[in-house]
Amino acid sequence: MIIKLKKNTIYIDQFKLKCSVGKGGIKKKHKEGDNITPKGLFRIGQLYYRSDRINNFKSKLKSKVIKKNMGWCNDSNSNYYNRLVRITKNTQYSYEKLHRINHNYDFILPISYNFNKPIKNKGSAIFLHLTKNYKPTAGCIALKKKDFFVMLNLINKHTKIKIF
φ, ψ (nearest 5 deg) of residue 65? -75, 135
Name the domain count of the chain. 1
Of 130, 109, 141, 151, the closest CA to residue 21 belongs to 141
The structure's pTM equals 0.95
The SS3 of residue 150 is: helix
Question: Which residues form the domain of 29?
Answer: 2-163
- C-alpha to C-alpha distance for 71 and 112, rounded to whole angstroms: 17
- C-alpha to C-alpha distance for 56 and 3, rounded to whole angstroms: 23
CATH number at residue 14: 2.40.440.10
Q: Using one digit for the tens of pLDDT, what is the confidence trace for 69-82?
A: 999 999 999 999 99
Q: Using one digit for the tens of pLDDT, what is the confidence trace for 84-126?
A: 999 999 999 999 999 999 999 999 999 999 999 999 999 999 9
- C-alpha to C-alpha distance for 50 and 45, rounded to whole angstroms: 16
Q: CB–CB of 37/141 below 8 Å?
A: yes
